Amino acid sequence: MQRMRDRLNAFLDLPDIAVPHAPSGPLAGFSLGVKDIFDVAGYVTGCGNPQKSAEGMPATATAPAVRMLLDAGARFAGKTQTEELAFSMLGQNVHFPHPVNPAAPGRVTGGSSSGSVAAVAGGLADIATGSDTGGSVRIPAAFCGLIGLRTTQARISLAGTMPLAPSFDTFGWFARDAAMYAKVGDVLLGPDSHAIPLTRPLALDRLDELVQGSAETEEYRRLTDVVAGVTGRPSRLPSPPHSTDELYWCMRKIQAKEAWAAHGAWISGREDKLGKATLDRFAFGRTVSDDEVAAESARRDDFRATLRDMLGDDGFIILPTAPCVAPRSNGTADQFQDFRERAICLLCWSGLSGFPQITIPLGEVDAAPFGISLLGPPGSDRALIRLASTILQSVGRA
């Protein structure tokens, strides 16, 4: 197992510390990797930065959401690698050997939950925790061929978790298959507050047009046909009165400002301890004014209300998870930045609204996984998991 761990670079090389778990329960017998932004009693929460780890003290308590999984019988398998301060969506932390994408070696895993997704996709853990602030569950899941849910904002406790941008941060997880994913959801989510069945599929040209590349475009059309075979053909909606560019900057500015508020004091004076790309993202947050945040927050509120009206009680949007398959690991900085900017235009709909979105591992382009997503009303998380499972069953992949 250690040899495989070294090959995938999924787990951190840390001393073994006893982490109690219940002897029985719905997750008994299954192993659990924990992203290194969540406290586990006895371990320092390193947050993907060696300086942060060196200065930290061992946690005295385990994050409540992680504790729920342990109390359900899951067995702690170790801490998994994360992007530096969880502020990236590629999975290439400059301080550590990069996790390997088991589903598409030679391509990035996606981040920031890079170690967790590699551990599950590579068979090193049955379950692993992640977080999704700007896409850090949805993107890794799509890139590595797994289900990934960005949960309704604030539905699962983030106590005992490193904050990045609190109004965007959400708890998430990866699991080896749809049945296991649902088991974890049963433990963490409780009943959906949204009780009306999701029966009205929707689509928007603006989102579909963000798919990049002829092969991805053709595959996305095929995937929408697969989903429509289960849910019915989606109705085409007019785009809301918020441009793609406006929503992109709304997400970027609010998220970056919150990230600087959370970490700026620690970063100042330690700039040489961070990778340049990470530092640049935090530094941008320092330049965003309070007036800009107020204006973008008003835009965000308006967008959330508009999207809520579009969905109604029974609607869900079918959309691409990412604009393309995982970029190649040896891509250039410009290529990575181009991907990131295009991806944010898709990911920000769930992030700005706080509504749940699930990515389903249905497609493949150039021997790499390619996902499709469903975005539902707030509180419809378990309904989305059930719908994803039904869609996967329809193609024999549950």
- At 223 the pLDDT is 98
Instruction: Please give the mean pLDDT across all residues of the chain.
Output: 97
How many separate domains does the chain show? 2
Do 66 and 8 share a structural domain?
yes
CATH number at residue 354: 3.90.1300.10
The answer on pLDDT for 297 being more than 60 is: yes
Do 342 and 208 share a structural domain?
yes
Residue 195 in domain:
no
Residue 111 in domain:
yes
Do 91 and 177 share a structural domain?
yes
Domain limit, last residue, from 147, 165, 189: 189
Domain limit, last residue, from 144, 159, 189: 189
Closest CA to 187 of 147, 136, 151: 151
Do 171 and 217 share a structural domain?
no
pLDDT grade, residue 30 (50/70/90)? very high
Do 152 and 67 share a structural domain?
yes
- At 117 the pLDDT is 98
The per-residue pLDDT for range 154-191, each reduced to its tens digit, is 999 999 999 999 999 999 999 999 999 999 999 999 99
Query: Tokens in use for 342?
Result: 């295009």
The per-residue pLDDT for range 343-394, each reduced to its tens digit, is 999 999 999 999 999 999 999 999 999 999 999 999 999 999 999 999 999 9
Residue 105 in domain:
yes
Do 171 and 298 share a structural domain?
no
Domain that holds residue 313: 200-394
Domain limit, last residue, from 139, 162, 189: 189
Q: Is the pTM of this model over 0.85?
A: yes
Do 278 and 170 share a structural domain?
no
* Catalytic residue positions, numbered: 35, 112, 136
Residue 246 in domain:
yes
- At 292 the pLDDT is 98
Do 157 and 211 share a structural domain?
no
